[in-house]
């Protein structure tokens, strides 16, 4: 019998194996499993390094449906563009839970972007109005791309409104994300961008609200993506106070998600949070219940999402004979 070997999958390999439709489906299924209590996921562990203007996060998970365990090691360094590196880089290890054997080590950077975009689409499927056609993107970096790509899998998007801080980034986004049958346009202010939007997606690193309550019309759904560490916030707390707020995981969201600042200040409590997304996906709670309510999804990014997509990539790699096998642990 051949000794077990570990499959190495670099960014190029992962890119060849990922597609957004399958990613959205996998993320929806894993949220349902989490809502049913069939997945184990401790909170993120943070290693803060302010002297380097960055941090590292360790994210472990196990799910019965996947039959695997995983660990993602991911950084966030806001100034990395000046050094020629991405702001976020990640590595995922996929393990056999019965033996602990490392089945695969893969690039997690692209995987992180895809699964976060997919989570936004899953949330919008249950919380936005089904006929939603106008999407407003506050921020137009890498995450805005996968958020839009994923939303296109769920909705018949007709109009995309964009705001970005840097004009060259905005111009590149408009050029590369244009799709036949859609209107794609940039706006000078966030207020103009979000006006009359059915779905608003925020993907900025802001530490103060950039979307004000007065700008958000009844019936709007908001995917709040950018707040991923303590002190970050993108939404006027009045929006959260008056909306149906859904988080991916309360433990994470309360210290590193969109709700973290209002919770710290006592503006919001756990009673103000309607549900975790998994509870809605598995049917334990209802999603949108009227066309008038404003809904908000606070996305912090869960280790179970990484596990689901890493397993998806791994299985596809085995079928297609992609990647390089090595005798990593010397068995």
* β-strand partners of 159: 134, 183
Q: What is the pLDDT of residues 248-280, one digit of tens each?
A: 999 999 988 999 999 999 999 999 999 999 999
Q: What is the pLDDT of residues 135-187, one digit of tens each?
A: 999 999 889 999 999 999 999 999 999 999 999 999 999 999 999 989 999 99
Q: Out of 33-37, 44-48, 323-327, pick the least confident.
A: 44-48
pLDDT category, 43, cuts 50, 70, 90? confident
**How high is the pLDDT of residue 230?**
85
How does the average pLDDT of the chain come out, rounded?
Answer: 94
**How high is the pLDDT of residue 86?**
86
Q: What is the pLDDT of residues 90-128, one digit of tens each?
A: 999 999 999 999 999 999 999 999 999 999 999 999 999
31 has pLDDT over 80: yes
| Strands of the sheet with 183-186, listed across from one edge | 183-186, 159-163, 134-138, 199-202, 221-224, 295-298, 244-247, 273-276
**How high is the pLDDT of residue 330?**
77
**How high is the pLDDT of residue 3?**
62
**How high is the pLDDT of residue 228?**
82
Q: What is the pLDDT of residues 173-231, one digit of tens each?
A: 999 999 998 999 999 999 999 999 999 999 998 999 999 999 999 999 999 999 888 89
Catalytically annotated residue among 12, 29, 68, 72: 72
Percent of the chain predicted with pLDDT > 70:
99
Integer Cα distance of 210 and 197 in angstroms: 16
Helix and strand tally (H, E) in the chain? 11, 18
Please tell me the CATH code under which domain 128-301 is placed: 3.40.50.720
Integer Cα distance of 328 and 330 in angstroms: 6
Q: Which of 14, 278, 277, 19 is nearest to 146 (CA)?
A: 19
Secondary structure of the chain: what % helix, strand, coil (to 5)? Answer: 40, 25, 35
Domain range list for the chain: 6-111+304-326, 128-301
286 has pLDDT over 90: yes
For residue 72, indicate whether it is catalytic.
Answer: yes
**How high is the pLDDT of residue 193?**
98
Fold of the CATH domain 6-111+304-326: ornithine cyclodeaminase, domain 1 (3.30.1780)
Integer Cα distance of 247 and 255 in angstroms: 12
CB count in 10 Å sphere of residue 275:
20
**How high is the pLDDT of residue 270?**
94
1 has pLDDT over 50: no
């Amino acid at each position: 019998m051949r000794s077990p070997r570990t499959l190495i999958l670099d960014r190029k390999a992962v890119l060849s194996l990922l597609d957004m439709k399958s990613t959205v489906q996998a993320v929806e299924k894993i949220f349902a499993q989490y809502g049913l209590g069939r997945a184990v996921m401790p909170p993120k562990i943070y290693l803060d390094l302010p002297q380097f203007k960055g941090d590292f996060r360790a994210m472990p998970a196990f799910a019965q449906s996947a039959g695997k365990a995983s660990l993602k090691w991911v950084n966030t360094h806001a100034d990395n563009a000046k050094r020629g590196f991405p702001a976020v880089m990640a590595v995922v290890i996929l393990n056999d839970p019965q033996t602990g054997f490392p089945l695969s080590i893969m690039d997690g950077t692209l995987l992180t972007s895809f699964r976060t975009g997919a989570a936004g689409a899953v949330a919008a499927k249950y919380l936005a109005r089904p006929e939603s056609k106008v999407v407003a993107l506050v921020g137009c970096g890498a995450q805005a791309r996968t958020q839009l790509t994923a939303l296109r899998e769920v909705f018949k998007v007709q109009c995309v409104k964009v705001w970005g801080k840097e004009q060259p980034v905005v111009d590149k986004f408009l050029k590369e994300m244009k799709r036949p049958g859609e209107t794609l346009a940039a706006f000078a202010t966030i207020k103009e961008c979000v006006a009359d939007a059915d779905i608003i997606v925020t993907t900025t690193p802001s530490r103060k609200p950039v979307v004000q309550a007065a700008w958000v019309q009844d019936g709007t759904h908001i995917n709040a993506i950018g707040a991923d560490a303590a002190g970050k916030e993108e939404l006027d707390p009045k929006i959260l106070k008056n909306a149906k707020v859904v988080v991916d995981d309360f433990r994470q969201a309360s210290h590193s998600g969109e709700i973290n600042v209002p919770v710290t200040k006592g503006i919001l409590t756990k009673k103000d949070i309607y549900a975790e997304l998994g509870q809605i996906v598995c049917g334990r709670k209802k999603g949108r219940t009227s066309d008038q309510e404003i809904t908000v999804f606070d996305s912090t990014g869960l280790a179970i999402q990484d596990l689901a997509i890493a397993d998806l990539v791994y299985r596809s790699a085995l079928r297609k004979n992609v990647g390089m096998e090595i005798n990593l642990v010397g068995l």
